[in-house]
Amino acid sequence: MKIWTGYGSEHSMNLVMIGRFKEARDADKVKQLIDQLVERVNAEPDAYRSDADPQDRRFSDAMRELLWSAELHSIGPTELEQFAYHAGVQVNGSEVIVTTEESEISAFLKVLIDKGARVEVYSAHFHPDTGYGRGR
């Protein structure tokens, strides 16, 4: 009999990312932008898959236009798949709260930082008292 001894961290992170903005309207704009990115990635499901050949992973014209108009220049084509992962995104006043089980979060982080947020990232497994994530 073989015993599986592999390790994988995906789908167990229970991450919480909170972007704090100076104004509530800034948080609302960033939530709308994230929604647009999610919608655009979901409209082109094969374009940004992680199993695609890296040579073939380029921005579509529609994605390039969205990123350009949003002045998001730090996100690469290989990060866009993250917007297809299940993530909860909500606004609470001047905060954008992202919750996810994924460990790949650089695209969300870049959006928040590029739009002026002060960002806190933690595992709700270890900080269940914050009210976000799934707790322990």
Residues 49-60: pLDDT tens digits?
A: 666 666 666 788
What residue numbers bound the domain in which 61 lies? Answer: 15-129
**SS3 call for 49:** coil
**Which pLDDT does position 136 carry in this prediction?**
46
Distance CA 93, CA 58 (A): 35
**120 torsion bin: left (phi>0), alpha (psi -120 to 50), beta (else):** beta
- Mean pLDDT value of segment 14-19: 96
Structural domain count of the chain? 1
**Is 26 a domain residue?**
yes
**SS3 call for 125:** coil
Type of residue at 7: Y
pLDDT above 90 as % of the chain: 65
Distance CA 72, CA 56 (A): 21
Hey, what are 19's tokens? 């972007």
- Mean pLDDT value of segment 31-58: 81
pLDDT of 120 > 70? The answer is: yes
Q: pLDDT tens for residues 75-105? A: 998 899 999 999 999 999 999 999 999 999 9
**Is 113 a domain residue?**
yes
- Mean pLDDT value of segment 104-132: 93
Distance CA 133, CA 19 (A): 15
Hey, what are 73's tokens? 């220049």
**Which pLDDT does position 51 carry in this prediction?**
65
pLDDT of 40 > 70? The answer is: yes
pLDDT of 43 > 90? The answer is: yes
Mean pLDDT of the chain: 87
**Which pLDDT does position 11 carry in this prediction?**
56
